[in-house]
Every structure is written in C-alpha cells, then in structure tokens.
Structure 1
Amino acid sequence: MDQRWMDAVFLHWRIPEAAAARFMPPGVVPDEFDGSAWVGLIGFRMQGAGLGTGPPVPYFGTFNEINVRLYSREPDGTRGVVFLSLDASRLAVVLAARAAGIPYVWSRSRFRAAHEGSPSTGYSVRRFRHGARSDFAVEPAFDDVATADPLSVHLTARFGLHTRFHGRTLYVPNTHAPWPLYRARLTVFEDNLVAAAGITLSSAPESVLFSPGVRTQFGRPRMLT
C-alpha cells in the first residue's frame, strides 16, 4: 500500500518497561530508550492510500488517523510499532483493518489547520462507542529542527509494525524517507485515548514534535517463528 502521512503531530511519554511489556505480541519486547519504554499519541492526515502501484482509493484512501502506540523489538534487533488503538472515520477501513488484526476504532475526527489567527496544528477525535475522546494541538518551531536528536529518531524512524494475527505475531514492513521533524510547543491537550488503551500518564509529554509529512509504502508481511 502506498500512502502519504501529512501534518503529523507526535506526543510521547516515558513509561515503565513493565507497563509496555504486557501489550507486546509473542516474540517481541519493549524497545527502550534511555532506560524507559515510551508511549505515543500521534495524529496525521492519511492521503491517497492505494493498493500496490495502482491509483489512490477514492474517499476511503483519505482520512484523519489518531493512534496510540508502543515500540517493539525482535531478538535480532528488528524494531517496530505495536498499536494499542487507531481511530479513523472511515468505517469500511476500520472493518477491513480489524479483520487483519489491526485495532482500528470508528470515530469522528477533525483536523485543526494552522491559520493566521492561530499557528496551532492538531486533531480532535471522539469515538462513536463508549465516548473516549482526545483534543491536542501544537505550535511548530520551524527554526528548531529535531531530525538529528537521538530520541526523536528512535520514536519516529519505525519501519514496520508488530501485531497479533490468528494467535501468531505478524511483522509488516514499512519504508519511507526520514521524517522532516520540528520541535513544537503543546498548545491544546485533553486526552483519554491513552488511558482507554490501558496506559496511565502522570505528566506532560516529554517529546513534542511536528512533521509536514512523508510518503510511505507497506510491504509483504512475515510471521515471526
């Protein structure tokens, strides 16, 4: 699948390794940085998703996505993402992804674009069932590039995902150019998606980043032995 991930907002918190370990699929462990596991709340605009080299899928290939994720590592060092939830407004996409073992949730979401009156960019989301919601926005500092920062690279340079599929662990590779990253200031934050996923937060995010986006492509999955 080819697609673009645009206007990405990355919020990350340091959490104990044990808090992340209970969500890891068999065969992978939390990928730590600076002695801690990390949980992320990420929002972006999916644009032009399509199968293979074909054209983008009309309507269903473009939507907002807000996900809660952890970071994983295989014994050979292969790194990935473990999604706790992914909120999207396209019901057909949600149903198809859930059939493949990806924990999508049907939600109503809105993209908050920066404009002359407000430099903040962000996302708001509310789930149709059970009412969990999130509202967050950042003001990017376009003169403060974070690409070379080791923590920022660790949290964003993820080229695959690990997920459970019919009782086994599946790895789906993903390729993209390095994210163009900028540090950002959190201007709006009200969230219970992370708590709904089973992670307790007790502080402000330690890492706040913004990216205009990248083009990305998913490859052929493989089962972990």
Structure 2
Amino acid sequence: MKKEIQDIISYKKHRPWEMPNRHWFWYQEWNDVLFLHYQIQEKDLRKLVPDFLELDSFEGSYFVSVVAFTMNQIHIRNTFPIGYFSNFHEVNLRTYVKNKNKPGVYFLSIEAEKLIPTVMAKLLSGLPYEHSNIVRSPNFYYMNGKRSQIKIDFTVGNKNENLKGIDLWLTERYCLYKDNSKNQIPLEVHHKPWDLYHCELKNLEIKYQKFNEYLDFNHPSLYHYSPGVKVIAWNQN
C-alpha cells in the first residue's frame, strides 16, 4: 500500500495547483466508473447551488453529471481497509463550481449501498450521503432510493486516446465543496489522470424526483467509462 500511495503522490504534473502541504487523511479507490453528463440551463443550476459558490462552465455551457461507481479499500491514514465498511457501490449527482477561482465539484446527491458505511461517510465527510438499494454487475447498474431510480445497461469500447477539452474539464477535478458558507475551504483530492473509454448505452432509465424538472436524465450529452483511479484525500483545515 505504501508503494501505491507513493506512486500516486509522485505523479503530479497534471495537477492544476499544488497538493496540500500536509499529510493526506483518506485512501480510497473509485472503480468501474460510469460518467453521464448533462447540459443544464444556468438559471436552473443557480437554484441548486449555494450562492457562495460560483457556477463553472465550459465555453458557456453548464453541466450536471451522474457518476456511478464502486468504492473500494477506503480507510483512514495509518489504518487498514475492512471489507464490509471499505467496499460499497455509490452513485452521485454532481455539478461544477468555483470558489476563489479554484474549480471543483459540488454534490447535489450522494447515494451509497450499505447502511452503516453510508452513515459513517456522512458523519466523517459532512457530505450529503443517503442509503439506497444498489446492485451492479460489470455492465449493469441498478439503484432504487427514496427519491431516485436508476437502471443502466452498457458496454465498454476502446480507450479514448484523443481526449478533448470537455472530457478533461468534466473529469479532472481535484477538490470538492460542501454546503457550508461558514467554512468555504474545499476538500482536496489527488489521483493520476483518468483513463477514459468509449461506451455504448444499451438501456438508460433515470429519475431524480428533485431534479427531473431541470434535466432529461435519459438523454445525456456525453458519457464515459473508466476502470477507475486510486485516490488520496485531505480533510479540511
């Protein structure tokens, strides 16, 4: 594990700013990741994001993304992963923001598979985790939550060797902001660049009760698959 973490830390030429000058706090892996990206009107997105955060855009376009993946090996520095608590499926709904000109992500929703890890993640991270029924296989994702339903069938194609600016803008994000106007310091993360693959959506059925009026979740503007990344993260100061 120490060798893996040193490998992550030593690869930093792609970062948009320097890593925090203190010890990392979390290790985790985001594996078998499906990104679904949707354009949204600025006026609609502004209703969903706290006023202290600036909306980030790519060439004047604003986006919200569904990100479905499996969390593995999560543990705090100087501890070790514990199977039930360290490995679970997760789906988040995120958008793209800036604060003091530092780009990051803001979560509109986070849903996770296992009840106790969900509660622990919410308490330790301060992020909006909720428990949901999530089932997945290599090319299938199903989620049934209190206010959301997701069913995705997909196949993975070749690696995308010609990433465009929008691909990098949507995926290479190295901090996240919480819904806390009194503490606007972001949570910092670091990992190697994403390897992104083409994929084909065979079936897509997504409903978010709170957000359906703003987005047609069954028709993404862009989508990617990634085998995943190994991640270190820092707590807020």
TM range (shorter): 0.7 to 0.9
- Whose strand fraction is larger, Structure 1's or Structure 2's? 1
Which structure shows the bigger proportion of residues in helix conformation? Answer: 2
> Contact between 1:125 and 1:134, CA under 8 Å: does it hold in 2?
yes
Kindly provide the amino acid, as one letter, of the partner of residue 161 in structure 2.
V
Q: CA deviation at 1:91?
A: 1.5
**Deviation at 1:158?**
0.8
**What corresponds to 2:198 in structure 1?**
183
Q: 1:92 aligns with which of 116, 124, 132?
A: 116
How far did 1:211 drift? 0.3
Q: What does the per-residue CA deviation read over 1:157-183, in whole Å, with 9 as the maximum and x for residues that have no partner? A: 011110124854341001000000012
Alignment partner, residue 150 of structure 2: 134
Indicate if the aligned counterparts of 1:174 and 1:217 stay in contact, CA closer than 8 A.
Answer: yes
TM-score for both structures, normalised by structure 2? 0.81
The superposition leaves residues 14-35 of structure 1 with CA deviations (integer Å, 9 ceiling, x where unpaired) of 1112222223234321110121
Does the 8 Å CA contact 2:159/2:195 hold for their aligned counterparts? no
Q: Which whole-Å CA distance do the structure 2 matches of 1:153 and 1:186 have between them?
A: 21
CA distance in 1, matches of 2:54, 2:181: 19
Choose 199-208 or 1-10, whichever is displaced more.
199-208
2: CA distance, partners of 1:168 / 1:23: 19
Cα 1:172/1:199, change in 2 over 3 Å: farther
> Is 1:200 matched with 2:214?
yes
Distance in 2 between residues matched to 1:186 and 1:204, nearest whole Å = 10
1:23 aligned counterpart, secondary structure: coil
| Residue segments in structure 1 that go unaligned for 5+ positions in a row | 114-120
Q: Take 1:199 and 1:57, find their aligned partners in 2: how far apart are those partners?
A: 40
Deviations 1:134-169 (A, max 9, x none): 1113222215435x2111111110111101248543
Q: Secondary structure at the match of 2:122?
A: helix
Residue 151 of structure 1 aligns with which residue? 166
- Mapped to 1, the partners of 2:90 and 2:159 lie a distance apart of 27
1:58 alignment partner AA: G
Distance 1:71 1:199 in 2: 19
Tell me how far 1:50 sits from its aligned partner. 0.5
**1:28-177 residue pairs with structure 2 within 5 A?**
28-75=53-100, 77-99=101-123, 100-113=125-138, 121-127=139-145, 129-130=146-147, 132-146=148-162, 148-165=163-180, 167-177=182-192
In structure 2, the CA distance between the partners of 1:176 and 1:199, relative to structure 1 (3 Å rule), is farther
Amino acid at match of 1:208: Y
Unaligned residue ranges in structure 2 (runs of 5+): 1-25
Look up the match of 2:235.
220
CA distance in 2, matches of 1:81, 1:28: 10
Residue 210 of structure 1 is matched in structure 2 by 225
Distance 1:168 1:143 in 2: 39
Cα distance in 2, alignment partners of residues 175 and 106 from structure 1: 26
2:105–2:175 Cα contact (<8 Å) kept: yes
* Cα deviation code 1:23-67 (max 9, x no counterpart): 323432111012111000110010110001421133111000011
- The SS at the match of 1:95 is helix
Which of 25-34 and 210-219 deviates more?
25-34
